[in-house]
Amino acid sequence: MTTRSVRRRAALCALPTAVLVGLATAGPTAPAAATSEEFRPQLVTVDTPTREDKRLLQTLGLDLTEHAGHDYVEVVLHSPADVTALVSAGLGYDVRIPDLLAREAENNRANAAYAAATARSPLPSGRDGYRTLDDYNADMAALERDHPDLVELITLPHPSLDGRKIHGVEIGKDVRGPDRGLPTFLMLGVHHAREWPSGEHAMEFAVDLVTNYGTDARITDLVDRSRVVVVPVVNVDGFHLSRTDGGLVDLRETDGGGTATILGTPGNAYKRKNCRVVDGQDTPDGSCALAVTSNGGYGVGVDPNRNYGGYWGGPGASDLFADPTYRGAAPFSEPETQNIRELVSSRHVTTLITNHTFSNLVLRPNGAAPDLVAPSEGMPLGDPFDEAALKALGDEMAAQNGYTSQHAWELYDTTGSTEDWSYNATGGFGYTFEIGPDEFHPPFPEVVDEYLGAGEYAGKGNREAYLIALENAVNPATHSVLTGKAPAGATLRLRKTFATPTWDGSIQDSLDTTMTVGPDGKYTWHVNPSTRPVVMDRQVETVSGEPVAEQSWTGTTLPAQSTDREFTIDQDVDLFEIALDWPTPDDLDLEVYRKNADGSLTSVGGSGNFVGEKERVLLQDPAQGTYVLRVLNFASVTPSWTLTASLFNAESETVAGLVENWTLTCERDGRVVERVPVTVERGQQLRVNLTACGRR
């Protein structure tokens, strides 16, 4: 027995009794063959209109998935006994997928067929199937081994809760040499465990840059002018469980031309969160796989993409551990988000992309609607200071992959997300890519098409969108540049400590970056602006007077049905508000579409708040035309509603911001010799000579 095993066993003995009982009794068993032809595992939607209903559901020992809403939870039923447990508890349900294993097996069979028929895919790596965690680590190690002057394997400082190392690669000319002040482009994948394509695209982009360096002039130029950091799997524990369990469901040929069904439970195949079992405690390695009533990963863990510090604890992030968007006990409470925080805070990440699935979207800050008021600030969030530039880049990237470019809040309100914190804390542009139209991990050929582009986007896709993002990262007009003279070999440091607003308070953040002056005594340092966007001027729109036009409807929508109403905008207005109300605590959802000339619909907004919170969609500067307003009733038993569409003109107000400075120091032999305050704006080049640093 190793020392590590002894320590882990000792840690297990130290756990609270209640936790030990849960771990011992809950664990999902290994995948087993189905024994009944009459009943197949199925996905059902259980009615949980109150939080107490959700708590009751969690006590039944059922396989809860992380697919849940404000009045329902999706559950995998594996046997007639599971049905009996639901009925005995008085919980109603609707069948969504009558044979979940056949659905999972269909994708796996498609993947196997593609791999068998494909010697080498068109992807840069040639892969023909989804990577495992070991595959990612091996591929990153191979890039470093085969290209040591171009690639360095990095290990992030905080191991996962299950004790795994979290790796990435840094790509750049003379990557092991001193940092010469180049801008950083950061690419992230797999914050959410089940979103396998997000890691594939991040890894493929790394392979793309490395294998084409020196032969492709565009890529060579971009790599020479930047440092590219790729972390393909941020949430290694959750991904390992999802990928391992998801690969166990299979349909295999038997002799005689027949088929035998190997029906393994999907287990954690659709897990969303990380492997936090108990807030504030590190449990023994492997505990996540044994979590109580959580074969599907719904109950256990923290959502990493709600755990970042920016407006942490606000709308779109739950404070209930069992909810799929649980935000964690505190901002940056999880090792996954601590890693990315320290990575971003120690470099000038001028552009960041964090990949997710699905919905074919390019999302930009902010995550919460501009008219919401965070108690920590007492005024509307407004639009980002760099809204025009953020939108322009988002639109340009979306033109390559056919996705919709929009604010993140136009999908739904979120707080504590990756790019909301990184943009507002550093000024570096940040985006979320939601890859693919309709599945968390679809058949692998779809991953190929999304990366390289298909149909009218063939030869473009996310590959071209990523290259455009990298061009933005190296463009001096999109960040700031410091130049000057300093002693050769001296260490220059930029530092700033500040309060980052959460929803109800604040946390302390610190940015601390360094570079080494070259042998000629001159330096050029690509940096982010000195003033953070969160404290800059912000544009706030306030409604001026009564609506210029308004229409209301009342109606009834049966469970699992939807009702559409049309509304036409025939004038220029500033704001289009759609509000959905109902007289009970049950929940309805709202979707808004714009009708195209051919009758097709384009999604422009949606709202799905918690139980008791009414639905509202707010569109800024809406285009004239006809809109379809859709009321959805997934399972509400009291489905009467009132829908109101209102057009407003608004007054735009600029809320004055602050101006911040960096503290620039020059260090020799570990000692600060000179200290200078530096104020620099986006797109500005500022000369700062550190002459005193050269004196004895």
- Please give the positions annotated as active site: 434
Q: Are 226 and 470 in contact (CB under 8 A)?
A: yes
Nearest-angstrom CA–CA distance, 133 and 644: 49
Q: Find the helix or strand (DSSP H, E) in which 96 lies.
A: strand 93-97
Beta bridge partners of 653: 540
What is the identity of the amino acid at 315?
Answer: P
Express the helix, strand and coil content of the chain in percent, nearest 5 each: 25, 30, 45
Nearest-angstrom CA–CA distance, 594 and 628: 6
> Angle 33-39-43 (CA atoms, 0-180°, nearest 5)?
90
Tell the residue number behind the tokens 């979320």, with chain if given. 432
Q: Which two tokens stand for residue 95?
A: 């069948």
Q: Give buried/exposed letters for 311-326 (b at 16+ CB in 10 A, else e).
A: bbbbbbbeeebbbbbb
3-state SS assignment for residue 305: helix
Could you tell me the CA-to-CA distances from 205 to 295, 318, 374, 450, 556 in Å, in that order?
33, 33, 37, 12, 49
Q: Is the dihedral angle over the CA atoms 61, 67, 71, 72 positive or is it negative?
A: negative
3-state SS assignment for residue 74: strand
Cβ neighbours of residue 282 closer than 8 Å, sequence gap 6 or more: 11, 161
What is the identity of the amino acid at 437?
Answer: P
Question: Which of 257, 245, 133 lies closest to 190 in space, CA to CA?
Answer: 133
Phi, psi of 26 (to 5 degrees): -90, -25
319-323: long-range pairs with CB below 8 Å, 24+:
320/51, 320/54, 321/279, 322/54, 322/55, 322/58, 322/298, 323/68
What is the identity of the amino acid at 18?
Answer: A
Q: Are 549 and 656 in contact (CB under 8 A)?
A: no
Radius of gyration of the chain (CA): 26
